Structure 1
């Protein structure tokens, strides 16, 4: 019999990534469309108080953090929050943690060592490796994610990166990349929204270095970002074209793809509704 602790998290093929907590009624609608998880970014506070209201209004949806920042959310408090949520809603919360960005963290001196220490503390507080993932881009942190968690949650990457990550970590490690989308056939409009979102990251060394490892040039990663770069990390076009791009991550080894809809909160549910059919999701009554 397989050890349950070694099983990958089962979040379905597609989930939704948002820059802050969704409203419980939005989460219920997302679940009904057939998406398996909501990933909440924006470095949520350690109390994770937004999680239970979402879980209370849904039946099987997983809530994940994408990600809790180790510099701003103390491990002991995060562990307490994990156990509180797990007790109330067993198996429906996935803890994503990461080191954030060196340019925006004053204490960011030895991020890898700090991440290891944070994971050690989560171990001390009995947060199981099977219910946590790590934000990872480069080989060193991808390997750490494979060793100390259920897997990796790469952000702002491409299917090519997903394939490289899968080859590195092997078949048993959970891999859940994020990908941005704009449901528009107007390439100029879509790229503008893409640049509005991606521009911030063009000043962050960990993302820039990762894109260069993928073969993008200095010219590609200079602000405001080349069309080639923006098109690679922001899928746009028809719902069918976007679905095909997202499916490339699955073809290259992802277990679960997290979709970030650009253009504002009012675009979230309409875009996810249009994508559900082409993604092969089954709506729940």
Structure 2
């Protein structure tokens, strides 16, 4: 960080993410559903699908809620310029202090023609955010491997791993140390019919075995080519999609907390996440006590 950046960085209200949040594509969440998510006790709404920095929904969601943190998961650094991201953050931080987190990441090699040297691009992006006065507490990085996780520790609030397992969570916590944010995503299907739950799990998670960053990470945790052929083996689906009854799902999500996660972002697979979120909320509230 440059001396000039140190002068520019403002003090900010520290986010209260809660222990559990909701991951949903930004095109699907509404002010009304965000308000119910908050009322159910979830601390953060994580907006997936690479929301653009000029999306007017950020302010609508924040205005519709009182304490819910709105976080991007993630803004794609190849699609959104860092100055635009800084403009968004500074405007929202001024109006809704401590309630907007700028999650950024390099996306997927398979989908981005300008993906070369993503680590260097992340560093350059962070340099611009520094120069514009976006504090490290106001941003976090999508991270799977050790190098970007260390960068997340040094230059941001922490790491936002996606499609992961508790063993990976434990490794990331070791790299991050005790103080950095570790907010992990985990998919959920509330259905005790195993075949039906796995089928829905494959609709939501089968796609990712074809993406090298996720497949390579999962190989570190014992998955092999027999697991990582679309739409994924039963072992793969059972690992990355918590399914069964509410108690079984809650116990699976708690494994991440026991492994060192500060926060678990729940992605309910299917058309409408709210019925499952309503059912899970009382058990997750007990976990937070």
Q: Same fold (TM over 0.5)?
A: yes
Does the residue aligned with 2:239 lie in a helix, a strand or coil?
helix
* Bigger mean CA offset, 40-49 vs 148-157: 40-49
| Partner Cα separation in structure 2 for residue 6 and residue 144 of structure 1 | 21
- TM (norm. structure 1) is 0.94
- Residue 159 (structure 2) pairs with residue 159 (structure 1): no
Return the match for 1:275 from 268, 280, 286: 280
Structure 1 runs (4+) greater than 6 angstroms displaced: 4-8
State the Cα distance separating 1:6 from its structure 2 match: 11
Corresponding residue number in structure 2 for 1:97:
104
Gaps of 5+ in 2: 1-9
- For residue 85 of structure 2, what is the aligned residue in structure 1? 78
Output the aligned Cα RMSD. 1.8
**Deviation of the 1:160 alpha carbon:** 1.0
SS of residue matched to 1:96:
strand
2:151 matched to 1:144?
yes
State the TM-score, normalized to the length of structure 2. 0.93
| 1:18 aligned partner | 24
2: distance between equivalents of 1:58 and 1:145? 28
Question: Quick one: structure 1 residues 43 and 110, their matched pair in 2 at CA, closer, same or farther if it must change by over 3 Å?
Answer: same
Pick which of 5-14 and 215-224 moved more: 5-14
Find the aligned partners of 1:281 and 1:156 in 2 and give their Cα distance.
Answer: 25
- Cα distance per residue 1:12-51 (max 9 Å; x no partner): 1000000224100100101000000100000011214211
Alpha-carbon distance in structure 2 between the residues aligned to 1:199 and 1:139: 25
Distance 1:80 1:271 in 2: 35
- Aligned pairs (5 A) from 1:193-212: 193-212=200-219
- The unaligned stretches of length 5 or more in structure 1 are none
What residue in structure 2 maps to residue 190 of structure 1?
197
- Work out the CA distance in 1 between the residues paired with 2:57 and 2:126: 23
- Does the 8 Å contact 1:235/1:242 carry over to 2? yes
Instruction: Tell me the secondary structure at the aligned position of residue 219 of structure 1.
Output: coil
